[in-house]
């Protein structure tokens, strides 16, 4: 069999790219790249048998039907021969600077940080947050700004809900937040986060498999980069984790969804402080008055 890899391009509404990427990463042992309106899946013929395309088409049809989408995502497949398909795929992932101090670097790269850099070593082989998506970048920049303002009473505590790769929790820890707690209800996401934490030993993060209700106490900072509808459904539980004077950052939200999300949290007594946009995505910052 000729060496190479299948490059599978899947068109997808931006509102569903993160969810679909996570599902595909769990289904196929290959890298998933999130672009503007599509996902790019890299598959090795040596790993995946002849029936992978039929399985993918069946999965996408079921996925679209479950969500009530009018059409299933369109799929385009190309075969790219190469002597080392895995090395070629890795070439696409280079260290990425986010904000003023964060650098997101794949674990196989050699990166020499500049003074003041906070390097987040991430394995992008499974799509749970790599810093390339707009919402992850929005959250990392927000963390920089909030942690720069600091707290005269000492370090800020932080809760990362739906941690995925753990990138936001690790970023907060590298900026001096403590304690930092990261929680996710997806066992595979928690395993990915655990691997990334092992690659970032200076990031002190308590990682939990479970839901936000399983986390004890409240926090100075709470961040949730999920999606609009789950954020609305979780509003009472997330709001309860923000202590008086604390701040809540919500992302994974398209611009046209922002007002619905904001209304759900303002109804619980949290006040909107700021909105940040990156392309069609946004981050909402709210606070609980002291």
**Binding site residues for S-adenosyl-L-methionine, as ranges?**
136, 162, 184, 225
Q: Which residues contact 241 (CB under 8 A, 6 or more apart)?
A: 159, 161, 212, 215, 217, 218, 219, 222
**Integer Cα distance of 231 and 165 in angstroms:** 19
The closest alpha carbon to 249, from 171, 142, 174, 170, belongs to: 142
Annotated binding-site positions: 136, 162, 184, 225
Question: ∠ at Cα 179 (277, 96), nearest 5°?
Answer: 40
Whether residue 120 is preceded by a cis peptide bond, meaning omega within 30 degrees of 0, is no
Contact between residue 27 and residue 121 where contact means Cβ atoms under 8 Å apart = no
Beta-sheet pairing, 102-106 with 118-122: parallel
**Integer Cα distance of 69 and 168 in angstroms:** 31
The closest alpha carbon to 205, from 176, 173, 175, belongs to: 173
**Integer Cα distance of 204 and 126 in angstroms:** 22
């Amino acid at each position: 069999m000729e060496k190479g890899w299948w490059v599978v391009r899947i068109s997808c509404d931006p509102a569903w790219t993160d969810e679909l990427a996570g599902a595909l990463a769990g289904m196929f042992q290959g890298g998933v790249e999130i672009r503007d309106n599509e996902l790019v899946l890299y598959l090795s013929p040596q790993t995946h048998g002849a029936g992978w395309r039929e399985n993918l088409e069946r999965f996408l049809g079921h996925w679209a039907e479950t969500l009530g989408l009018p059409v299933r995502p369109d799929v385009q497949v190309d075969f790219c021969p190469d002597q080392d398909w895995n090395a070629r795929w890795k070439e696409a992932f280079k260290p990425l600077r986010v904000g003023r101090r964060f650098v997101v670097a794949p674990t196989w790269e050699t990166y020499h940080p500049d003074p003041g850099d906070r390097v987040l070593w991430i394995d992008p082989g499974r799509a749970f947050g790599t810093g390339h998506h707009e919402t992850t970048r929005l959250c990392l920049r927000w963390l920089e700004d909030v942690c720069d303002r600091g707290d005269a009473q000492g370090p800020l505590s932080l809760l990362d809900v739906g941690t995925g790769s753990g990138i936001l929790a690790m970023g907060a820890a590298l900026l001096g937040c403590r304690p930092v707690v990261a929680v996710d209800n997806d066992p595979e996401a928690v395993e990915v986060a655990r691997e990334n934490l092992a690659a970032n030993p200076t990031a002190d993060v308590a990682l939990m498999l479970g839901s936000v209700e399983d986390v004890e106490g409240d926090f100075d900072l709470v961040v949730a980069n999920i999606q609009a509808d789950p954020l609305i459904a979780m509003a009472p539980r997330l709001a309860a984790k923000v202590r008086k004077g604390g701040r809540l950052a919500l992302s994974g939200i398209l611009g046209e969804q922002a007002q619905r999300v904001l209304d759900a949290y303002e109804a619980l007594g949290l006040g909107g402080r700021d909105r940040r946009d990156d392309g069609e995505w946004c981050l909402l910052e709210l606070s609980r008055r002291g």
